[in-house]
Amino acid sequence: MSNREQPAPDEGAEEPAKPGEELSVEGLQKSAEALRLRVAAAQAQREKDIEQKLTDRKTLIGEAQKNDDVLRTAGETLEYFTAMQELGEIKDPADIKKLAEIRDLTASLEKQRLEIDKKIGAIEQEPTILGKLHDAAKKEDAEWTAKKEYAKA
């Protein structure tokens, strides 16, 4: 068996023929198959990465919704107690300290929301992700339209 016909250390891929060496059909077939396997593995990994990013996006959207709920409550609470303080209803130093904590919490939640939005935006800007989201939206729209048409019938 010549050196060309022995599997190379990486994934059984055949070494490329050196200039001046004759390529065999069998050698070319093995090289082509090894390349096909590497291409398929790369495609599978890319698809896995895309699915992971879509999962991450979904998780981030869930976090954003939870953040919005807490932020809305904190904002309403802050607004109410700030108004009460301006009216002179809150004078106790402990209550004033609590109001400052609510203000800090609200600012922190707003900052978290901006960070979540940035992460979601970064994921959605990738062309492959954008394409998948577009396809999913078209599919959902078609299903919704079909259900609506069925309900009319």
Q: Which pLDDT band, with edges at 50, 70 and 90, does 150 fall under?
A: confident
Do residues 106 and 78 touch, judged by C-beta distance below 8 A?
yes
Residue 136 has pLDDT above 70, yes or no: yes
CB atoms within 10 A of CB 26: 11
**With a threshold of 0.75, does the pTM exceed it?**
no
CB 106 within 8 A of CB 80: no
Query: 84 CB contacts (<8 Å, ≥6 apart)?
Result: 90
**pLDDT (tens digit per residue) in 105-134:** 999 999 999 999 999 999 999 999 989 888
Q: What is the pLDDT of residues 28-80, one digit of tens each?
A: 999 999 999 999 999 999 999 999 999 999 999 999 999 999 999 999 999 99
What pLDDT does 65 receive? 96
